[in-house]
Structure 1
Amino acid sequence: MTLEIPKFTPPDFSQEFFVNAPNAKLVEVVKDGVSPANYHALSVFPEYFKINGKWVLATESRMDTVCVAIDEPGKEAVDIVEFRNLRVGDKVVVGRTEDGSEGIYMYTQGFLTEEGNSDTFAFRSGRSRETAFSMDYDQLYDILRHEKEHNGYVTWVIGTAITLDEGSRDAMARLVREGYVDAIICGTSFAAFDLECATFGTTWGQETFERESTTLGNYFETINMVREAGSMKEFVKSGKPKDGIMKACVECDVPVIIGGTIRDRFGLPETFDNVYDAQNAMRKHIRKTSTVVMVSAILFTIATGNMTPSYNEFDGVIRPVYMYTVDIQEFAVNKLSDRGTLTAKSVVTNTQDFIKNIGRALA
């Protein structure tokens, strides 16, 4: 089955309402990291801003950001910026309405189907373990094939559970090698447990993993060996890891963004210990992501979901950004929609089985 990416239809800006709407009000930043009062905070929905009489689409609208306008005649544009990244002289859009009356227009009808009764920004909700997800799997297979064939960018946000099962670990490594993974966002334990298994053949120090252990000898020894090597890349080149996801990522040049947490007792050389540095590294990939799959990593899922626009511009074409959340807990997959990301499809299942299903279908 050939996937058809929904086409975006912009508003008719020739309508009198849009023509007569005022330009958005701009106020300059006078102190780095401090927004002017009455700033307009964005969401994941498409928003237009009227600059010098021209309606400009914010192509990276995302949660908890502000719009910085460029109002040079003939070069009108907008940049979506986190509050902490505001700089003196930036011209911030102010105004709290989204109906066009202040030069700000939220538009949710851009991806309506021909029947006019379905919108990309209104995926069905109320997902539970009783939902049949077979159609969701089929659609995801089609999406991932499409992204691979058309130079899309697929980012995976993955939790530790995937590395604790041989089948899911092997399936994820195959997906990396087959070109279905362009970047991975994870925590220290995901990478470290994978490297432990690849090096020692153990998980949590156990050849046959049965339960979490208080003895993490091989886990810490693995991190220690990687730190001694200087990086995961150099450690893989040493030949000590025999298989696994990190080895596949190094050999296929797939970037792995590791965000540290307050619980980390020992970090890999690549781990970002500063939360803002971690956000910046994640956002570098999310800004060019066309599909994101978030599996068994609730905190990273919420963080990634909130910085991911529901749509973006790729090669001059506006299209949806596909988002999937996968977890065995209904609470976990629904948490993201509770935090404002309404376009993610959720699958309630054992995440190890999920990865193995994807691997069987594609790799």
Structure 2
Amino acid sequence: MTDERPSRVVELEGHIIDSGMMQRCFGIVMDMGGNFDVEQFDVGRHKDAESYCRMRVFADDGDALQSILHELHQNGANLSDPVDAHLEPAPADQVVPKGFYSTTNHPTQVRYDGEWIDVDDIEMDCAVVVEDGDDPTARTKVLNAIREDDLIVTGEAGIRVHPPERPRDASGPFGFMQGGVSSERPSESLIRQVAEAIEETKRADGKVLVVTGPALIHAGAGDDLARLVREGYIDMLSAGNGFATHDIERNVYGTSLGMDVETMEHPRKGHKHHIYTISEIIRAGGIAEAVDDGMIDGGVMYECVQQEVPYVLAGSIRDDGPLPDTITDAVEAQNAIREQAHEADMVLMLSTLLHSVAVGNCLSSTTKVVCVDINPATVTQLLDRGSEQAIGMVTDIGTFVPTLADEILGEE
């Protein structure tokens, strides 16, 4: 008996068995009340061979079918009969057409004039803008960057998404990066693998971005992160006013938020050290000026200035001061973070929930990410927000960073 319900044919290609893509797509259809018939299934029979599945998806009505297709599309299933993407001009600055396509963080292509073109600067929760011409291009734009008459992709026709695929083995320096969170993994073994991944990234002329919070300084790991910056293993730093303030306070007063990092004691008036630090940096005119004046002669921010490592200090409503280098305009800070994220080949997120999630939102799913925090909620929230490529390590940052530095640089 012929099934007369609305249906469409979708295709899955690649390592769809090992990555769990096929099982995930089957589950989506059934969980959303649909059915499917597998029309063709070709299994890759050696580790480098890809598999292929073509299936027809059925639903009770057109709206239900569209909802299922949307979820399948987000997971890498593509329509077998692609058409050109539908474009509509933006009606005004910062206004997108209704039904605009909202991106995932996976590599994406759009079909334009019968050809597939890559979407540049891919990140989640953006619009896709196509620029016409002899060599048409497509790129993501956040909503506040949309300008009137930008050609915006709407709907989901003519779009292909390519989620990263899990390798069939764990060989090579990046083999361990398959996502997931665990406090049970052998810490020293995993740190050694992270060190190898950083070294391989640098050998390939890639860029390593560190995202960190003041807890790193409180835990006594500032000197070791400074070592990594000094020796050229860190290419960019993303943090907040608090991290820079306590790093400089540590160098000037030997305290972090008023506590002596070495003795764990609270010296008299130590609670005022952070605001004294901020006032002196303001007086100097900024962090680089304070380094030039000799006020700062060590620490992470000092090494960033000395090694010309660019840093972004994104402000928040709770900042004291803030330091002159802190970007207090939220949109401007987002744009600065976004530029760093798009350049990064590997990201270390070290004990900072807000900055980790903010940077994670700007990353492609192909960017290698390691998130370390003593609080499991930080690591799981990052993955829940869509950074599924990240590996999470629930451990003390004061142990992780020194051990990582020793693995890469050797003990001093």
Equivalent position of 1:83 in the other structure:
143
Equivalent position of 1:40 in the other structure:
101
Pair 1:172 & 2:225 matched: yes
In the TM superposition, what are the counterparts of 1:80-119 in structure 2 within 5 Å?
80-95=140-155, 97=156, 102-108=157-163, 111=165, 113=167
2: CA distance, partners of 1:176 / 1:9: 41
TM-score with structure 1 setting the length: 0.84
Identify if the C-alpha distance between structure 1 residues 42 and 213 changes in structure 2 by more than 3 Å, giving closer, same or farther. Answer: farther
Equivalent position of 1:202 in the other structure:
255
2: CA distance, partners of 1:69 / 1:23: 12
Identify if the C-alpha distance between structure 1 residues 235 and 40 changes in structure 2 by more than 3 Å, giving closer, same or farther. Answer: same
1: CA distance, partners of 2:402 / 2:200: 20
Equivalent position of 1:317 in the other structure:
none
In the TM superposition, residue 206 of structure 1 has moved relative to its aligned partner by: 3.8
2: CA distance, partners of 1:144 / 1:113: 19
Contact 1:164 1:209 in 2 (8 A): no
Contact 2:166 2:178 in 1 (8 A): no
Pair 1:138 & 2:192 matched: yes
2: CA distance, partners of 1:353 / 1:336: 21
Matching residue within 387, 390, 410 for 1:341: 387
In the TM superposition, residue 303 of structure 1 has moved relative to its aligned partner by: 0.5
Q: Secondary structure at the match of 1:216?
A: helix
In the TM superposition, residue 123 of structure 1 has moved relative to its aligned partner by: 2.7
Contact 1:203 1:209 in 2 (8 A): no
In the TM superposition, residue 338 of structure 1 has moved relative to its aligned partner by: 1.0
Pair 1:299 & 2:299 matched: no
Moved more, 59-68 or 263-272: 59-68
Contact 2:214 2:243 in 1 (8 A): yes
Contact 1:9 1:111 in 2 (8 A): no
Pair 1:25 & 2:86 matched: yes
Large movers: runs of 4+ above 6 Å: 8-12, 211-214
Equivalent position of 2:311 in the other structure:
256
2: CA distance, partners of 1:70 / 1:299: 34
Identify if the C-alpha distance between structure 1 residues 38 and 48 changes in structure 2 by more than 3 Å, giving closer, same or farther. Answer: same
Equivalent position of 2:280 in the other structure:
225
Higher relative contact order (CA 8 A, sep 6+): 1
Contact 2:275 2:320 in 1 (8 A): no
In the TM superposition, residue 205 of structure 1 has moved relative to its aligned partner by: 3.1
Question: % of aligned pairs identical?
Answer: 28
Equivalent position of 1:188 in the other structure:
241
Equivalent position of 2:202 in the other structure:
148
Q: Secondary structure at the match of 2:392?
A: strand
1: CA distance, partners of 2:267 / 2:104: 39
1: CA distance, partners of 2:203 / 2:117: 31
Deviations for 1:281-328, whole angstroms, at most 9, x for unmatched residues?
Answer: 1111111110111000100000100111113xxxxxxxxx11111100
Equivalent position of 1:314 in the other structure:
none
Pair 1:332 & 2:393 matched: no
Opposite residue 155 of structure 1, the aligned amino acid is L
2: CA distance, partners of 1:331 / 1:28: 41
Q: Secondary structure at the match of 1:151?
A: coil
Equivalent position of 2:324 in the other structure:
269
Contact 1:69 1:79 in 2 (8 A): yes
Pair 1:241 & 2:287 matched: no
1: CA distance, partners of 2:128 / 2:266: 48
- Structure having the higher Rg: 2
Contact 1:62 1:307 in 2 (8 A): yes
Identify if the C-alpha distance between structure 1 residues 265 and 178 changes in structure 2 by more than 3 Å, giving closer, same or farther. Answer: same
2: CA distance, partners of 1:24 / 1:10: 27
Contact 2:129 2:153 in 1 (8 A): yes
2: CA distance, partners of 1:9 / 1:272: 48
Deviations for 1:72-108, whole angstroms, at most 9, x for unmatched residues?
Answer: 2x4122111101100012100000x4xxxx1112222
Identify if the C-alpha distance between structure 1 residues 348 and 180 changes in structure 2 by more than 3 Å, giving closer, same or farther. Answer: same
TM-score with structure 2 setting the length: 0.75
In the TM superposition, residue 213 of structure 1 has moved relative to its aligned partner by: 10
Deviations for 1:212-242, whole angstroms, at most 9, x for unmatched residues?
Answer: 9996311111111110110100101111223
Contact 1:154 1:290 in 2 (8 A): yes
Q: Secondary structure at the match of 1:287?
A: helix
Opposite residue 84 of structure 1, the aligned amino acid is N
How many residues in Structure 1 have an aligned counterpart in Structure 2?
A: 332
1: CA distance, partners of 2:257 / 2:179: 39
Pair 1:356 & 2:402 matched: yes
Opposite residue 368 of structure 2, the aligned amino acid is Y
2: CA distance, partners of 1:299 / 1:155: 16
Contact 1:54 1:76 in 2 (8 A): no
Gaps of 5+ in 1: 1-7, 312-320
2: CA distance, partners of 1:161 / 1:358: 17
Opposite residue 201 of structure 2, the aligned amino acid is E
Moved more, 29-38 or 237-246: 237-246
In the TM superposition, what are the counterparts of 1:298-317 in structure 2 within 5 Å?
298-311=353-366
2: CA distance, partners of 1:197 / 1:68: 46
Pairwise CA RMSD of aligned residues? 2.8
Identify if the C-alpha distance between structure 1 residues 218 and 10 changes in structure 2 by more than 3 Å, giving closer, same or farther. Answer: farther
1: CA distance, partners of 2:168 / 2:403: 33
Q: Secondary structure at the match of 2:380?
A: helix
